[in-house]
């Protein structure tokens, strides 16, 4: 652990010099050397494992909204520079520490790490690895942790969604939104209304299982939802946009409705008039999936095991917007899930802002 922290805090020049000296094994990684600048690819020196650690040969790494925020210095956690971004990956176990008992060399795994996943090699504690069932591909598995872990805890654990209930999800064509649609529809047998910012996104959300959709760039979300479900409202709302979209989602709720706040992709945090909660006995709650890793590891772990199990059973089907090789990280990580600044739509992504995957097709490690 000490060595791990130490490596993360070392200056870039030192890390590169170590790599150039050719000491032991090396691997390539996408490095954030300066905030708001493109990632660079560097060769890094491998370090020895601690007793509980596992070295994984990374095949795929999910690229998420939060990765972009971290690299812009706009995430809750701001790691010291330089750092390797990436919080979820899939791959095969290369080496295990002396006290590792949960996995062995060659096992197919997914892993969660605060950082360091955008690399050909990732070292993590055995606790944060889960075995991938045989019939689940490593590409599908790579995007399960963040999007599906969040979706499962939002609709199952927080909102306690029941079969037949109506779920409104905003930013529905994003990675998390699509995962919410998948889990709510195909696991919980709920009816989903997808709310998104363009007709194209609405179409995708419906193709992925939503029963109906609302394009909230074209008028009031509340009015559109009312047209679909009547004045009764929806039972559950999962909001990732914030601002007016959040307030309209609250106003769309039915008696004893539940709203779960997942994020503020739109950039503004709304204040909630508490009379809205009282009038219809509404519950408003938040979900920060990653925090469960430290506060309630059993629940965190269950969200991942459930995602893998649903995938193995063929209940859910993760959607990946783009798969690209490590060499292309510079172009793609700027584009995927790009944050729109104010109303300046010229900054919009050229790629569909849906879960993307980094694909490490050359494995330079050999044992």
Ligand X SMILES: NC(=O)c1ccc[n+]([C@@H]2O[C@H](COP(=O)([O-])OP(=O)(O)OC[C@H]3O[C@@H](n4cnc5c(N)ncnc54)[C@H](OP(=O)(O)O)[C@@H]3O)[C@@H](O)[C@H]2O)c1
Closer residue to ligand X (CB): 257 or 353: 353
List of residues 6+ apart from 192 with CB closer than 8 A: 166, 167, 168, 169, 172, 180, 181, 184, 185, 209, 210, 211
Closer residue to ligand X (CB): 132 or 196: 196
List of residues 6+ apart from 135 with CB closer than 8 A: 312
* 323 touches ligand X by CB under 6 A: no
* 288 touches ligand X by CB under 6 A: yes
Take residue 364 and report the two structure tokens written for it.
């330079």
Q: With contacts defined by CB under 6 A, name the span among 24-32, 49-57, 85-93, 194-202 that binds ligand X.
A: 194-202
- In 104-189, which residue ranges form alpha helices assigned H by DSSP? 138-142, 149-152, 175-182
Q: What is the spatial distance between Cα 192 and Cα 190, in angstroms, rounded to a whole number?
A: 6
* 197 touches ligand X by CB under 6 A: yes
Q: Please count the residues of this chain forming the interface with ligand X, following the rule CB under 6 A.
A: 32
Q: For residues 104 and 93, is the Cβ–Cβ distance under 8 A?
A: yes
Q: What is the DSSP string of 352-364?
A: -SS-EEEE-----
Q: How many residues does the chain have?
A: 367
Binder to ligand X among 201, 251, 258, 302 (CB under 6 A)? 201
Binder to ligand X among 30, 70, 287, 304 (CB under 6 A)? 287
Take residue 216 and report the two structure tokens written for it.
């909230």
* 196 touches ligand X by CB under 6 A: yes
* 300 touches ligand X by CB under 6 A: no
Give the shortest CB-341-to-ligand X separation in angstroms: 8
Give the shortest CB-1-to-ligand X separation in angstroms: 25
Q: With contacts defined by CB under 6 A, name the span among 30-38, 94-102, 103-111, 353-361 that binds ligand X.
A: 353-361
Residues 60-99 that bind ligand X (CB under 6 A): 64-66
x/- map, 113-132, ligand X, by CB under 6 A: --------------------
* 303 touches ligand X by CB under 6 A: no
DSSP state of 267: S
* 263 touches ligand X by CB under 6 A: yes
What distance lies between CA 181 and its chain's CA centroid? Answer: 15
Nearest 10 degrees: Cα torsion 13, 15, 16, 21: 120
Closer residue to ligand X (CB): 129 or 261: 261
Binder to ligand X among 70, 84, 265, 304 (CB under 6 A)? 265
> What's the angle, vertex CA 240, arms to CA 224 and CA 210, rounded to 5?
50
* 266 touches ligand X by CB under 6 A: yes
Give the shortest CB-271-to-ligand X separation in angstroms: 18
* 141 touches ligand X by CB under 6 A: no
Burial status of residue 255 (CB atoms within 10 A of its CB: 0-12, 13-18, 19 or more): exposed
Closer residue to ligand X (CB): 144 or 173: 173
* 148 touches ligand X by CB under 6 A: no
Q: What is the spatial distance between Cα 155 and Cα 238, in angstroms, rounded to a whole number?
A: 8
Looking from the CA of 107 toward its CB, the CA atoms found within 13 Å total: 21
Q: What is the spatial distance between Cα 149 and Cα 357, in angstroms, rounded to a whole number?
A: 17
Q: With contacts defined by CB under 6 A, name the span among 81-89, 103-111, 115-123, 286-294 that binds ligand X.
A: 286-294
Instruction: Give the interface with ligand X as residue ranges (CB under 6 A).
Output: 64-66, 146, 150, 171, 173-177, 196-197, 201, 240-241, 262-267, 287-290, 337, 339-340, 353-355
């Amino acid at each position: 652990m000490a060595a791990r922290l130490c490596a993360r805090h070392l200056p870039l020049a030192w890390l590169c010099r170590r790599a150039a000296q050719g000491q032991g094994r090396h691997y390539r990684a996408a490095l954030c050397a300066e905030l708001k600048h493109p990632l660079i690819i560097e060769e890094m020196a491998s370090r020895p494992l601690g007793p509980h650690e596992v070295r994984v040969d990374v095949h795929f790494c999910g690229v998420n909204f939060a990765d972009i925020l971290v690299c812009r210095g706009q995430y809750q956690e701001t790691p010291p520079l330089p750092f390797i971004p990436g919080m979820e990956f899939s791959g095969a176990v290369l080496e295990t520490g002396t006290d590792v008992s949960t996995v062995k060399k060659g096992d197919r795994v997914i892993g969660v790490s605060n950082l360091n996943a955008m690399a050909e090699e990732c070292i993590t504690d055995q606790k944060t690895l889960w075995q991938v069932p045989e019939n689940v591909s490593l590409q599908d598995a790579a995007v399960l942790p963040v999007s599906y872990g969040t979706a499962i805890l939002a609709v199952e654990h927080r909102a306690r969604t029941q079969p037949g209930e109506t779920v409104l999800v905003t930013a529905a064509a994003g990675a998390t939104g699509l995962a919410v649609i998948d889990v709510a529809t195909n696991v919980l047998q709920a009816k989903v209304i997808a709310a998104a910012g363009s007709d194209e996104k609405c179409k995708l959300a419906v193709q992925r299982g939503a029963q109906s959709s609302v394009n909230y760039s074209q008028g009031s979300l509340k009015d559109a939802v009312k047209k679909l479900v009547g004045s009764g409202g929806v039972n559950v709302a999962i909001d990732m946009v914030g601002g007016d979209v959040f307030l309209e989602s609250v106003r769309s709720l039915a008696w004893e409705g539940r709203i779960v706040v997942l994020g503020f992709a739109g950039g503004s945090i709304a204040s909630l008039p508490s009379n809205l909660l009282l009038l219809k006995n509404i519950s408003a709650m938040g979900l920060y999936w990653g925090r469960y890793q430290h506060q309630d590891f059993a629940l965190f772990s269950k969200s991942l095991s459930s995602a893998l199990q649903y995938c193995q059973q063929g209940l859910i089907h993760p959607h990946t917007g783009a798969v690209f090789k490590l060499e292309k990280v510079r172009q793609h990580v700027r584009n995927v899930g790009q944050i729109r600044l104010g109303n300046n739509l010229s900054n919009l992504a050229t790629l569909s802002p849906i879960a993307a995957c980094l694909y490490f097709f050359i494995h330079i490690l050999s044992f």
